[in-house]
Amino acid sequence: MIPASIPSPPAEWASFSIGPATIHVYALCILAGIVAALLLTSARWRRYGGNPDVVWDVAIWAVPFGLIGGRLYHVFSSPDAYFGPDGDLSRIPRIWEGGLGIWGAIALGAVGAWIGCRRAGVRLSAFADAAAPGVLLAQAIGRWGNWFNQELFGAPTDLPWGLEIDANNPNFPADADPGTLFHPTFLYESLWSLAGVALLLLLDRRFSLRRGRMFWLYAAYYTAGRIWIEALRIDDAEMISILGVTQRLNVWTSVLVLLVSLAVFIYLSVKQRGVKEHSVYLPGRGPDPAEDAAAATTDAGSGSGTDVHSPDTSAGKSPDRGNLPEIKDASGAAASADQAPEEPRESDSRK
């Protein structure tokens, strides 16, 4: 009798049938995560000043691209099940069996988001900032699909929150004794991601992280947790040795993405210091084309924070009138456009 542990659901809970259709709970977890991400992104996009309908237009491209990219990354980072001596190529499209690599999903999903953003006339950087917390929320929810599939757990542990895995499950290690508990890495990552959602929203409200900074902060936060969580896992994966240290491919990928994300975040923070926020729309594509054009002019400025499309009235200077049109009076004399007409003399008014 195990005094304290996290039970796994029975194997029959992993799927159920509705008529001739078989519904896999893993797929439902992924779907629930996507819906939650879109709802959060829609609310944030509205706060950015964009039309929330745009989020669904971009999602039509980003979501399928992301799913394909995530599956391809998983297949090539864990190739034995598909290309090994006992591999089965027919398993590649079976996403419901588990196996989506986040880096492939982000990379190819970004391509789909770029296509959707171009078609919708919005900036990819603005959309990525709005979507970043939602992507992390989707990851937190989607990880529960691993629990239903009894997969991607960590090394054996005697901690009270150890995860039970059925001894007859194909994923149960052959060298482990029945009743062995394992690190619930799905739960670690889900909790880490949920804490990240709260942290990102709090920091964005405090510092208004825009122009790509929110997205790169998300990438840095997620990978910081993924490094140690991934290192706990014992499922089959490609191993790579760097400087004498052998680790899983996903660990090294997380280290690389973490370093790049921090560098880009710091670079953008320094570069954008004092720069005003621009419209979420591409120039000429927003509800107010004139406003978009002005925002584009601001982006092309020196970045000092001055609204360059407004007249410069600093230090008591008046706006430049060199290009103002001239107004001619009745006698044909030229007058400045900003000069008020001369009041008629009293003697003239009686004529």
Between 53 and 279, whose confidence is greater?
Answer: 53
pLDDT at 289: 55
How far is it, in rounded angstroms, from Cα 312 to Cα 124?
31
Whether pLDDT at 301 is above 50? no
Between 82 and 322, whose confidence is greater?
Answer: 82
Is residue 319 assigned to a domain? no
Whether pLDDT at 253 is above 50? yes
How far is it, in rounded angstroms, from Cα 74 to Cα 96?
13
Q: What percentage of residues in the chain have a pLDDT greater than 90? A: 62
What is the band of 297 on the pLDDT scale with cuts at 50, 70, 90? low
Is residue 289 assigned to a domain? no
pLDDT at 319: 41
pLDDT at 305: 36
Lowest mean pLDDT among 76-80, 138-142, 194-198, 314-318: 314-318
pLDDT at 175: 93
What is the band of 288 on the pLDDT scale with cuts at 50, 70, 90? low
pLDDT at 307: 35
Lowest mean pLDDT among 35-39, 142-146, 263-267, 299-303: 299-303
Between 306 and 239, whose confidence is greater?
Answer: 239
How far is it, in rounded angstroms, from Cα 32 to Cα 141?
7
Average of per-residue pLDDT across 51-71: 94
pLDDT at 283: 84
Whether pLDDT at 99 is above 50? yes
Q: Quote the domain boundaries for residue 108.
A: 11-271
Is residue 285 assigned to a domain? no
Whether pLDDT at 351 is above 70? no
Whether pLDDT at 186 is above 80? yes
Lowest mean pLDDT among 9-13, 38-42, 339-343: 339-343
Computed over every residue of the chain, the mean pLDDT equals 83
pLDDT at 332: 45
Whether pLDDT at 277 is above 80? no
pLDDT at 278: 74
Lowest mean pLDDT among 20-24, 161-165, 252-256: 20-24
Between 112 and 283, whose confidence is greater?
Answer: 112
pLDDT at 95: 81
Lowest mean pLDDT among 28-42, 255-269, 278-292: 278-292
Is residue 126 assigned to a domain? yes
Average of per-residue pLDDT across 297-319: 40
- Tokens 């959309």 belong to 127
Residue among 255, 252, 249 nearest 237 (CA): 249
The model's pTM: 0.78
Whether pLDDT at 92 is above 90? no
Average of per-residue pLDDT across 210-235: 96
Residue among 129, 125, 126, 107 nearest 62 (CA): 107
pLDDT at 80: 80
Is residue 306 assigned to a domain? no
Total tally of structural domains belonging to the chain:
1
